[in-house]
Amino acid sequence: MSEQEFKLALSYANAAMKLLKRCEIPAYPHFYELLYTYATGVNVPLNARMNELFRSGQPLTTDVVEALCVEFLKSYDVNERITNVSERMHARIESVNDAIDTAMLTAESYSGSLKVASGDLDRGVSADDLKSMTRQLLSETQHMQKTNSNLEDQLEASREDISALQRDLEEVRRESMIDSLTKIANRKSFDESIDNAVEDAVRTGEPLCLIIVDIDHFKTFNDTFGHQTGDQVLRLVATTLKANIKGRDLAARYGGEEFMTILPTTDIAGAVIVAENIRKAIHAKELLKRSTNEKLGRITASFGVAQFMPSDTSASLIERADRCLYAAKNSGRNRVVSEQELAKIIAA
């Protein structure tokens, strides 16, 4: 990178950071990327949209920036990033193959020259012919050394590129397991994690519990206050879940307004305590509309808690936790129902 390019990139970075600070937007990587892209001016539709927002006087809130990220940033397209890594890997492999082919042809030519020289020496050559032969072999040896050196350079570059590609693939893999809105594990990650947790519980005999969380009256809330505020609610619940688990526990967005929490090495009594802590923490938070600071009230959620049994599969454990959730919904919402409590409710 030239000094001019460095200064230009730095000016874009400074402009992005100033905009983040001025609008009081958290400096999350994807927010920074969006505003850096805006500063460069390379994404014409993005710049048109943001300039329109600035002209209208609408505040650049976190919700607005989040929506712009989803709409305009290509980094959200995991499939595209995987394709890009694949193409780079293919180009590097082709480059190495070309270098290997060249080295093999040079080696074959060199071997042929050595055989010819060996035959000439066996028949006897004059001093002048010997000098000429020596010069030719020296020239071909130098060419061979140069070809081998080029091959070594290509292999070294490939080693570095492959290491970088492996890091990129791992980053893409991690991102593919994260829900883009809430920044916790997504359904794909949950499906993989619950299967692994069940296998571990079977192997070790340790307890395992599952909590299903569903936001109460979310559709009504979403329709009343709008999708951006609904997204804020989803992020709030996700953050609360993540703040109340630890170690090997996993919080995931299962779909829509439903969340899952996997609690390895936790029995049903401990899982109920965790669920109650989360329920109280969600209910304790008062929701504000960021654009106006209008108080929108409090949100609540219902919880179903089930403990793994030796005969369980992932599906049967989810099904039993889901039954507990529906019992919580049907008995007034904003409560935790475990399997033990469900049995009491059914008996009553």
Residue ranges per structural domain of the chain: 3-76, 78-176, 187-347
The β-bridge relationship of strands 336-338 and 301-307 is: parallel
- The CATH class of the 187-347 domain is alpha beta
**DSSP secondary structure, 298-335, as one string:** E--EEEEEEE--TT--HHHHHHHHHHHHHHHHHTTSSS
Highest mean pLDDT among 37-51, 193-207, 232-246: 193-207
* The residue to which tokens 């009343």 are assigned: 224
Specify the pTM: 0.59
pLDDT-based confidence at residue 290 (cuts at 50, 70, 90):
low
CA-to-CA separations, 183 to 175, 219, 236, 305, in angstroms, rounded? 9, 21, 11, 23
Q: Token digits for 7? A: 């200064």
Active-site residues, by number, are 257
Q: Token digits for 78? A: 């995991």
Phi/psi for 59 (5° steps) reads -65, 145
pLDDT digits (tens, 9 = 90+) for 150-160: 777 776 766 66
Answer whether 78-176 and 187-347 agree in fold. no
Q: Token digits for 23? A: 């609008």
pLDDT digits (tens, 9 = 90+) for 181-222: 888 999 999 999 999 999 999 999 999 999 999 999 888 877
Average confidence (pLDDT) over 64-92? 68
Average confidence (pLDDT) over 90-99? 72
Position 86 scores a pLDDT of 67
- The CATH class of the 78-176 domain is mainly alpha
The answer, yes or no, to whether residue 76 has pLDDT greater than 50, is no
